[in-house]
Structure 1
Amino acid sequence: MIFFLTTLITFVCMECVTWLTHKFVMHGFMWYFHEDHHQPQYKSWFERNDVFFVIFAIPSIVLFYVGLQGGLNYFFFIGLGILLYGMAYFLVHDVLIHRRFKWFNKTTNKYLIGLRKAHKVHHKHLGKEEGECFGMLFVPFKYFRM
């Protein structure tokens, strides 16, 4: 049970990490890598922004390794929480919102539609300043009512 809770708490905490990273790192000193993601004319399969998948994968991989040393321990389940969040991020951000893969094209789920609306508001700003809606899974309730 403690390992399940560790994974779940890590998953939820990753939303906070993502929000902070998106606002202060991606829209801050690492804007160079994130900028092409905000340019509608940029139509390549890969974006410089994809480097963040690698950056977020490294701690997960390290935690899996450390979590298997001397028997299974809680580091493994922290790494699992990060991995599961990364998978959710991929499915929501790259598949549902940006449609890099043509799956889930016609959702009627109000939660998923709200996530999509909030992200579109984020992308109406082409520069690194004046951004809003930096989260991915938890966005303001107003986007679910519209």
Structure 2
Amino acid sequence: MNFLVVLLTFFIMEGMTWLIHKYVMHGFLWMLHRDHHDHSNEGHVEKNDYFFLIFAVPTIALMYYGTVNDYNIYFYIALGIAIYGMAYFFVHDIFIHQRIRFLRDTQNPYLLAIRRAHKQHHKHTGKEKGECFGFLWVPVKYFKMYFNKKS
């Protein structure tokens, strides 16, 4: 049962990510997310990186509350969120934005589709007219671009 809670939470986080990205990051907290699009911050750390803390604090609180009460459901929800956060970090920061050079020349259709959709998202430097707000699941047209290629 606990494994299912972790798994379900992980998948629900994709929908939450889409909603938060579209309506919070491209909405009232655009001032933190803007430098991720317009690259106005020359350093390695962007204001956008504060979202890590914004999302980590409630997750840590849930995890703590779940552990002091005999590993209740809150712990497993927090674990699902934390695993999603790790996946997000590895795919978004390491693979897509190449903060650490890794998988630069991949030919994996899934990874190429994710990278392409993210590039489409970043072609807009403003908060309006955005597209592709998801992370691990993006519009099917991007998957079709790479999965339907003939050898």
Q: Secondary structure at the match of 1:126?
A: coil
Q: How does 1:1-146 map to 2 (within 5 A)?
A: 2-40=1-39, 42-146=41-145
Cα-to-partner distance string for 1:83-134 (whole Å, 9 max, x where unaligned): 0000000011101111111122221110010000000000000000000000
Q: Secondary structure at the match of 2:68?
A: coil
Mark the runs of 5 or more structure 2 residues left unpaired by the alignment: 146-151
Shift of 1:41: 5.5
Shift of 1:144: 1.5
Shift of 1:69: 1.5
Q: Secondary structure at the match of 2:104?
A: coil
Q: Distance in 1 between matches of 2:128 and 2:92?
A: 21
Q: Distance in 2 between matches of 1:60 and 1:40?
A: 28
TM-score scaled by structure 2?
0.92
Shift of 1:141: 1.1
Shift of 1:42: 4.0
The amino acid across from 1:46 in the alignment is V
Cα-to-partner distance string for 1:41-89 (whole Å, 9 max, x where unaligned): 6432000000111111112101110111231111101000000000000
Could you list the structure 1 runs, at least 4 aligned residues long, displaced by more than 2 angstroms after superposition.
Answer: 40-43
Q: Secondary structure at the match of 2:76?
A: helix
User: Sequence identity of aligned pairs in percent?
Assistant: 55
How big is the alpha-carbon RMSD for the aligned residues of Structure 1 and Structure 2?
Answer: 1.0
Query: Paired residues, what number?
Result: 145
Q: Distance in 1 between matches of 2:96 and 2:69?
A: 41
